[in-house]
Structure formats: structure tokens, C-alpha cells
């Protein structure tokens, strides 16, 4: 077998992954911009505009998925730091997307819940994710079971290698 073919295929896979990463960034930016537009509408009465990062949007979504929830639990679920979560929550509180609560059995610890405006953003965010999921599943219908099983293995292995990098390991073993 000609050794150049597998090498060429590897380079094409790398190029394809790079394209996917760039398209994902563009898609996420479109989602962020769309949500930002709706946030601006919700904040119009206060005369302020709010700029959120994708991480902040996902923190808001995490709160909506698990409310009532505290900073420590959000940070654990999002795999981020408590200061990052605290800054985001302060931003959401000021914008009117979040409110503080305390549980009746623990008056010391602060928990967060979404306001109606926060719930609307949470819902929009989930709608975008569902749309992307639906489109991807329909796209995958063109592949055979064997091809899908290989792709699953490839992406699982790639994910494991990326996680090992975050844990101090080598990029590809």
C-alpha cells in the first residue's frame, strides 16, 4: 500500500477538524450576537446594553438547568473557577436576569434563580442547541453504521487526548 495515501488522509482529517473548529467559532459568535440582541431588547427599559461571552451564556444556562444553585456547584458543573462564576452572576444580577435566594434550612449560603428575563434567554439558548442538534443528527443520516461507529471512536479518542492535555499530558500519545 502506498504510504502517501494514509498520510494524505491524516492531513485532510486535520484540515477538516480545523475547518470544523472555525465554523463552530462562527456559529457560536452568531448565537452570542443573536442572544445579545434579545438581551438588549430586555434591558432597553434601563438604558443599558449587556455584552456576554459564550462562557457567561453557558453559566446562565447552567443556572437555569439546575436552579436553585450556588457558585461552587456552578463552577464544578462548568469546570471553571468560582471567581469567574461570581463575576458572571454579579453581571446577571445587575442586568436583571438573576436573583439571589437562600434555602430555608441554610440562611448563610446564597443560591441563584433566573428571573423571567433570564428564563427567556435560557430558553433561547436551549432552542439554538436543539436546532444545532437536530441539524447534525439529520446530517449524520447519510453515513453507514460502520462509518458512524468509526467516527464515534475517532472523536472519543480525540476528546480523551484533549482532556489529557488539560491534565498536563502530551497532546497526542
Q: Is the pTM of this model over 0.75?
A: no
Model pLDDT, residue 47: 47
Domains of the chain are 4-165 (1.10.10.10)
pLDDT in tens, 67-86: 999 999 999 999 999 999 99
* 137 or 18, greater pLDDT: 137
Mean pLDDT of the chain: 84
Q: List for the chain the helix, strand, coil content (%; round to 5).
A: 70, 10, 20
pLDDT in tens, 92-108: 998 888 999 987 777 78
43 close to 50: Cβ distance less than 8 angstroms: yes
pLDDT in tens, 110-153: 999 999 988 988 998 888 888 889 989 999 999 999 999 999 99
Model pLDDT, residue 113: 96
Q: How confident is the model at residue 63 (pLDDT cuts 50, 70, 90)?
A: very high
Model pLDDT, residue 42: 64
| CA–CA separation, 36 and 29 (whole Å) | 10
Residue with cell 457560536: 28
| CA–CA separation, 50 and 34 (whole Å) | 13
147 exposed, middle or buried (CB, 10 Å; 0-12, 13-18, 19+)? exposed
Amino acid at each position: 500500500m502506498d504510504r502517501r495515501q494514509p498520510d494524505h488522509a491524516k492531513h485532510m482529517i486535520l484540515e477538516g477538524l480545523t475547518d470544523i473548529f472555525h465554523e463552530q467559532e462562527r456559529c457560536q459568535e452568531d448565537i452570542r450576537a443573536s442572544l445579545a440582541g434579545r438581551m438588549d431588547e430586555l434591558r432597553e427599559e434601563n438604558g443599558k446594553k449587556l455584552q456576554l461571552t459564550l462562557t457567561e451564556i453557558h453559566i446562565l444556562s447552567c443556572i437555569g438547568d439546575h436552579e436553585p444553585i450556588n457558585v461552587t456547584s456552578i463552577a464544578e458543573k462548568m469546570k471553571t473557577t468560582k471567581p469567574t462564576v461570581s463575576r458572571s452572576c454579579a453581571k446577571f444580577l445587575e442586568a436583571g436576569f438573576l436573583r439571589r435566594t437562600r434555602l430555608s434550612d441554610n440562611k448563610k449560603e446564597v443560591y441563584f434563580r433566573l428571573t423571567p428575563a433570564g428564563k427567556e434567554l435560557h430558553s433561547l439558548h436551549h432552542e439554538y442547541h436543539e436546532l444545532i442538534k437536530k441539524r447534525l443528527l439529520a446530517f449524520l443520516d447519510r453515513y453507514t453504521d460502520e462509518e458512524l461507529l468509526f467516527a464515534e471512536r475517532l472523536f472519543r479518542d480525540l476528546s480523551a487526548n484533549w482532556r489529557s492535555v488539560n491534565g498536563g499530558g502530551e497532546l497526542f500519545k
